[in-house]
A and B are shown apart, each in its own frame.
Chain A
Amino acid sequence: MPLPLLLAAATPPLAGTAADWLWLLPVLPLAGFALNGLLSLAGAFHPGPADPSADGHGAADAHAGGEAHADEHHAPARHRFAGATSVIGPAVLIAAFGLAVAIWMAMRDAGEMSAPLVQTYFSWIPVGALHVDFAFQLDQLAMVMVLVVTGVGALIHVFSVGYMRDDPGYPRYFAYLNLFVAFMLVLVLGASYPVMFIGWEGVGLCSYLLIGFWFTDKANADAGKKAFIVNRIGDFGFLVAMFLLWANLHALDFVGVAAGAKGLAFGGALVTAICLFFFLGCTGKSAQIPLYVWLPDAMAGPTPVSALIHAATMVTAGVYLIARSGFLFAMAPVAGLTVAVTGAVTALFAATIGLAQWDIKKVLAYSTVSQLGFMFIAAGVGAYATGIFHLVTHAFFKGLLFLGSGSVIYAMHAAYHHTGKHDDAQDMRNMGGLRTALPWTFVLMWIATLAIAGVPLFAGFFSKDEILAKVLERTTDSTLASATWLGLPGEFVLRAVFILALAAALLTAVYMTRLMLFTFHGPNRTGEAERAQLHEAPWIMTGPLVVLGILSAFGGWLNVPDPLGALGPVHVLSHWLEPVTGAATAMVGAEHEALPATEWAMMGGAVLVALAGIAIAFWRFKPAALVPKALAKPATGFTNVLEHKYYVDEIYDRAIVEPIVDGSRDILWTGIDKGLIDGLFVNGSAFLARALGWVGSKLQTGQLGEYAWALALGVLAVLGALTLR
């Protein structure tokens, strides 16, 4: 028996295959970043950044209110090197995707991989006992993430060519976008927590840069700062978790930590603390309560950025982190329950806010927060493969929804631009009836809506249903069910999570159908002149939508559940991820062979919830009764509370931001800086020197006689002292 193992150890199964080119994956987009960055610097059309009001429809959603269209008929200031950027930007991503597919095929051909492939490139932090290599780790989980990041990323890059081409900052945009993908690939390929942290921080930086892409508008720059600062709070958790790992396990690479984790006390304070600190990092990056507030504001960036960074890839990094650290989270049931409860509460909370938003991108932003909550439910209950499955399908349908909304905004903005009307191109009250003008977008976004709502055979149905099933499965015979969470029995907590998730699933269907009804159905509210100008975006933008539409429709086939085995091979993704997450999942609770009847009942219930949500939306929301934004009356009652997002931003402002600002101003600035440092130390020492100088100058009378007297008395005093000693 040991012989094949020995042989396998002697020659790594992936040697000599495309996997040797693993390092090239992040280097390709990095090269794109360098080239586009150089083009941006070399051919700056304007000395300053793009003024989104002055350029063409490229900056379609820069101005929600469209209030600053100072120079309406200004010719689009296309960047001098826009052509080169249009080639370089997407090409590096398509090449990376091609390489990823080649590596994936090599992995598939190599068969069972018992251990991850770790490639060390150089020694990064050799300090005493701490030794961190810059190394990449290829395993099944990383492969899935790489395929999603490069695949969906390539589609969104192609879409961006159409969406951003007329923006004067076009090469800068692609430089940031390429850099983002490079960091995201470092994040998912890193073989240790510190290397992952490089990517983790790098994507945060790119997120900041792209949210504030049109930074001449203060609101956009503020949104970028908010995202960056809120994420720092989470990163603090990530860092503390790494410190704890190092202090206790003396390892930071995934292989070493996984080996060391076995020696930790099950459910002990240490492993729970490590997991909770990691989860704090996740709440920041993946926009969960309490740190979700930055994500809706992040919609200030260009729409393709929202699709790539703030829906499909970066925000899912937290889910990836938990799946990657499954060996730790499986040891800490309390932390797992915390993750699941936070996910469930976030899912429902964000879904309710999504019900009352009018900005099409805000609805999708809260929807993203809500769907991320679903992923965390799965990750929390130890169903890591399920969480990753929802991550993948969500990347498809939410990427599609965002790009679709980008297409809508593009059309709206182009129409407003043409007629010179100043209005909000993102407010659904100004849309309506767009199905005739944008038939492709209309059909594709309905596919994504059905997918996210969980209508059978669309991608979201499979993944969401699996999450709900896993939660229910864990209520019996699992470490979570027997644990206690804040004095509550784990089984009860899990049932509560299930009910919250079910409610969130219902609301998902409601708010998404509402979005579709208000945007595409009913009468058109854009205005007579604008109506004629509404038309579908060019093919370079609808093409990626079509691909994502196909993926949203059929992505569920990745992981077909047992009862639907007639559709094709079952549990493909789960089996693929088994070597990475299987052991941790099994530790949380054994797989039950659920009765087919139970599974069918579960599935039927989930379908009923989805259909009920769609029906409620059709019954409750009548697009015919809507009036354009300018004529709309302010909302009242609970709708108003929802429209103001439960006033969470205001509460955070009052409870955290304002005390910090006031304290900084009154205590640190006027008190310590101006009072103590400037007043006492700087001006005080100057005053002291001047006072002493004044006293000294008064001694100098210029009268020789007095000096002589002083001299004589001094001599007498010294002599006297010596004599009388």
Chain B
Amino acid sequence: MVDVALFFSAVLFVIGVVGVLTRRNAILIFMCVELMLNAVNLSFIAFSRLYGMAGQVFVVFVMSVAAAEAAVGLAIVISIFRHYESVDLRNINLLKG
């Protein structure tokens, strides 16, 4: 049971990573980050079967942080969109050296 959960957790994580690496749309990247977070949550749950409740407590923390991050992140995305009228990250390179 645990190994199945960990396998899916890994799959979910890799989907998230690939999404972050390949997508250009800020919203999509944002959603892929959420995928990665939830993949980690899944591993926590799976491991809590073996090592006790600490993993589930962590999941609660991760979800609350993810919620806060989603609020801030989406706000940033909205202001980027207002400025550039686009959320394509290829066009947004203010930090270019």
**Residue positions of A touching B, CB distance < 8 A:** 696-705, 708-709, 712
Contact = CB atoms under 8 A, between A and B. Distances in A.
B83 interface: no
Given A701-B97, A704-B92, A708-B21, 6 more contacts: A699-B97, A702-B95, A702-B96, A703-B89, A709-B21, A712-B21
A702 B21 contact: no
B82 interface: no
Contacts of A697: 97
Given A709-B21, A712-B17, A712-B21, A704 B89 contact: yes
Contacts of A705: 21, 24, 89-90
A700 B95 contact: yes
Contacts of B97: 696-702
A701 B93 contact: yes
A4 to B, nearest CB: 99
A708 B26 CA distance: 13
Interface string B18-42: 0011001000010000000000000
The 4 tightest CB contacts between A and B, nearest first, are: A702-B93, A702-B96, A700-B97, A697-B97
Contacts of B96: 700-703
12 contacts: A696-B97, A698-B97, A699-B97, A701-B93, A702-B93, A702-B96, A702-B97, A703-B90, A703-B96, A704-B29, A705-B24, A708-B20
Most chain-A Cβ atoms within 10 A of its Cβ — which of B29, B92, B95?
A: B95
B94 interface: yes
Nearest to A697: B97
B86 to A, nearest CB: 14
Interface residues of B, number: 13
Nearest to A694: B97
Contacts of A696: 97
A546 B21 CA distance: 111
A712 B21 CA distance: 8
Nearest to B90: A703
A702 B94 contact: yes
A701 B92 CA distance: 10
A330 B16 CA distance: 102
Nearest to A709: B21
Nearest to A699: B97
Contacts of A702: 92-97
A112 B41 CA distance: 114
Contacts of A704: 29, 89, 92
A183 B21 CA distance: 88
A711 to B, nearest CB: 9
Contacts of A701: 93, 96-97
A173 B40 CA distance: 94
Contacts of B21: 705, 708-709, 712
A703 B17 contact: no
Interface string B75-97: 00000000000000110111111
Contacts of B90: 703, 705
A643 B43 CA distance: 107
A700 B29 CA distance: 20
A421 to B, nearest CB: 79
A709 B21 CA distance: 6
A708 B32 CA distance: 12
B93 A703 contact: yes
Interface in B46-97: 89-90, 92-97
A552 to B, nearest CB: 90
Q: Which of B29, B93, B96, B97 has the most chain A CB atoms inside 10 A of its CB? A: B97
A217 to B, nearest CB: 63
Nearest to B22: A705
Contacts of A709: 21
Contacts of B20: 708, 712
A708 B20 CA distance: 7
A712 B16 CA distance: 12
Nearest to B32: A708
A701 B94 CA distance: 9
A712 B24 CA distance: 16
Nearest to B89: A704
A699 B97 CA distance: 7
A698 B21 CA distance: 21
A696 B90 CA distance: 21
Contacts of B24: 705
A647 B78 CA distance: 92
A524 B52 CA distance: 128
A116 B90 CA distance: 99
A701 B95 CA distance: 7
Nearest to A704: B89
A697 B95 CA distance: 10
A38 B8 CA distance: 98
B34 to A, nearest CB: 15
A99 B24 CA distance: 105
Nearest to A696: B97
A364 to B, nearest CB: 79
Nearest to A715: B17
B96 to A, nearest CB: 3
A696 B89 CA distance: 22
Contacts of A700: 95-97
A703 B17 CA distance: 17
A702 B90 CA distance: 9
B91 to A, nearest CB: 10
A105 B93 CA distance: 101
B17 to A, nearest CB: 6
B3 to A, nearest CB: 18
B26 to A, nearest CB: 9
Contacts of A712: 17, 20-21
Interface in B1-19: 17
B71 to A, nearest CB: 20
Nearest to B20: A708
A697 B96 CA distance: 8
A45 to B, nearest CB: 67
A702 B95 CA distance: 5
A708 B97 CA distance: 17
A134 to B, nearest CB: 69
B22 to A, nearest CB: 8
A562 to B, nearest CB: 102
